[in-house]
């Protein structure tokens, strides 16, 4: 492993030590980030027992409270804080009733618990994290209610979608971050998030890789055979043009069934005929006369975007028919065993090339075995870690990332750069899951450093444009 990017060693600023609570804390990504800036955790909670155990192994029991607990059971016991940190679950809010206050709209959600704490303790800062889809969730209603709720509590509302690969960490992991600062601390300034330091094109995944790892992380012979199957495809399809940018679905190459278009335009009788005609395809569920129109459409599973992919795969087949026929036969791609089951799992007969136009081999890139198929990405940064079992594989090493390497792309200090090394769960599958659920420590630390600078009175933030002047500017 090479030395980690110098940007990991963040400069410290003159600041007051603040007390923070770590809600829905996982293994403590927020804790790790704020701890580096000298702040003190006074409470942490998570309902995942294994994650809580890993948290306590590294951070103990902040404030003397057990980390494994339901926030609803301890809400009244949570001590005062300066910062609320929360990677909160995304839940829909009520939209009924034009005269509803924010409390009525968010009642019963975990975000409501955050607001209850903010209303009670009036901390200086709310520092929240979520998946980027939060911004568009429920047609934008969820994010709108979050902003209205926070502003009504007396806080500013700033947000940004950021990813570690734009800050010299070789992982694409876009997340939305929200920073809300109590109004009396703004001093006519607007908070600004850290500026990106990289365009993500010159990253080196080797900085997180170990030279020697246990053989248990190696690809199996069957997995290597599957990649060699697709390697054969890469080398011989579209030889004179570029590789297809759409997902490749082998079971759609030879299909001749008419693409039905908008399924809502058909009667239930017609839908049953369509479902019967497409019954051999893996995603189509059985249909019968007892099903409603909505149930039939769902069972057939042919939205317009899927029909578009099917059309493109049929075209790909027609343009490479001679080779693809040989390929299907050679590798037994669509063959079935004596019991009529696919020899190759359906998900492994699907393939997504996302490694760009300059490469023509799996083995110089990174890939994942996903439920939707085998996905290949460029070899300069890793796809986002997820809590499911989709561990990135390094093509040129023919092995998966180890939990320790996954921890590095999440910026957990497993190498002891900032003190005692971070300890992962001893069970690999749990460690992978926990890291897939975690925030990226480096990105959170950079944001917290900006919060510290803002609260210390730094002039490095834009002054608020007076409302009247802003209205004049916008009408010009």
- Dist CA 96 CA 130 (whole Å): 25
* Cα 330–Cα 308–Cα 256 angle in degrees, nearest 5: 55
What is the per-residue burial (b if ≥16 Cβ within 10 Å, else e) of 83-103? bbbbbbebeebeeeeeeeebe
CB count, 10 Å around CB of 46? 26
How many angstroms from the chain centroid is the CA of residue 81? Answer: 29
Closest CA to 298 of 287, 311, 307: 287
Strands across the sheet with 393-394, in order?
248-249, 350-354, 373-377, 366-370, 393-394, 399-400
Dig out the tokens for 261 from the structure.
């278009």
Task: Output the CA–CA distances (angstroms, integers) from residue 258 to 246, 269, 307, 311, 315, in the order listed.
Answer: 20, 17, 10, 10, 14
Q: Which residues pair with 41 in a beta bridge?
A: 20
Dig out the tokens for 474 from the structure.
């916008």
Phi/psi for 19 (5° steps) reads -95, 135
- Dist CA 250 CA 229 (whole Å): 12
* Cα 359–Cα 361–Cα 364 angle in degrees, nearest 5: 80
Q: Which of 25, 41, 85, 90 is catalytic?
A: 90
- Dist CA 19 CA 422 (whole Å): 21
CB count, 10 Å around CB of 282? 13
- List Cβ neighbours of 199 (8 Å cut-off, separation of 6 or more): 166
90 is catalytic: yes
Q: List the catalytic residues.
A: 90
């Amino acid at each position: 492993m090479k030395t980690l990017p110098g940007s990991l060693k963040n400069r410290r600023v003159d600041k007051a030590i603040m007390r923070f609570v770590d809600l829905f804390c996982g293994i403590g990504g927020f804790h790790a980030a704020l701890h580096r800036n000298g702040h003190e955790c006074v409470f942490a909670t998570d309902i995942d027992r294994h994650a809580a155990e890993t948290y306590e192994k590294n951070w103990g029991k902040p404030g003397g409270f057990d980390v494994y607990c339901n926030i609803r059971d301890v809400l009244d016991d949570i001590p005062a804080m300066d910062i609320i940190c929360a990677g909160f679950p995304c839940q829909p809010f009520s939209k009924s009733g034009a005269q509803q206050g924010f409390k009525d709209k968010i009642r019963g959600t975990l975000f409501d618990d955050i607001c209850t704490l903010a209303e009670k303790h009036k901390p200086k800062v709310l520092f929240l994290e979520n998946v980027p889809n939060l911004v568009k969730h429920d047609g934008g209603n969820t994010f709108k209610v979050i902003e209205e709720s926070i502003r009504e509590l007396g806080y500013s509302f700033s947000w940004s979608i950021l990813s570690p690969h734009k800050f010299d960490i070789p992982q694409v992991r876009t997340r939305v971050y929200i920073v809300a600062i109590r109004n009396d601390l703004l001093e006519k300034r607007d908070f600004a998030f850290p500026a990106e330091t990289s365009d993500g094109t010159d990253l080196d995944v080797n900085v997180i890789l170990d030279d020697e790892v246990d053989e248990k992380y190696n690809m199996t012979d069957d997995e290597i055979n599957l990649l060699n199957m697709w390697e054969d495809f890469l080398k011989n399809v579209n030889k004179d043009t570029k590789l297809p940018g759409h997902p490749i679905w082998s079971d759609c190459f030879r299909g001749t069934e008419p693409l039905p278009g908008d399924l809502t335009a058909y009667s239930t009788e017609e839908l049953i005929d369509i479902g019967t005609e497409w019954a051999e395809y893996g995603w189509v569920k059985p249909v019968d006369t007892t099903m409603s129109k909505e149930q039939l459409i769902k069972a057939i599973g042919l939205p317009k975007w899927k029909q578009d992919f099917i059309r493109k795969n049929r075209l790909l087949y027609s343009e490479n028919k001679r080779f693809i026929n040989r390929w299907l036969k050679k590798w037994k791609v669509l063959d079935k065993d004596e019991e009529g089951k696919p020899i190759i799992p359906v998900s492994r007969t699907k393939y997504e090339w996302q490694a760009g136009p300059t490469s023509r081999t799996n083995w110089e890139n990174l890939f994942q075995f996903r439920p939707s198929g085998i996905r290949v990405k460029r070899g300069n940064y890793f796809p986002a870690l997820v809590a499911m079992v989709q561990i990135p594989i390094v093509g040129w090493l023919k092995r998966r990332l180890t939990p320790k390497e996954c921890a590095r792309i999440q910026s957990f200090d497993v190498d002891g750069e900032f003190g005692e090394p971070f300890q992962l769960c001893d069970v690999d599958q749990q460690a992978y899951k926990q890291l897939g659920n975690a925030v990226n420590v480096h990105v959170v630390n950079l944001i917290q450093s900006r919060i510290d600078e803002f609260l210390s009175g730094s002039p490095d933030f834009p002054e608020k444009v007076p409302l009247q002047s802003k209205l004049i500017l916008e009408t010009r």
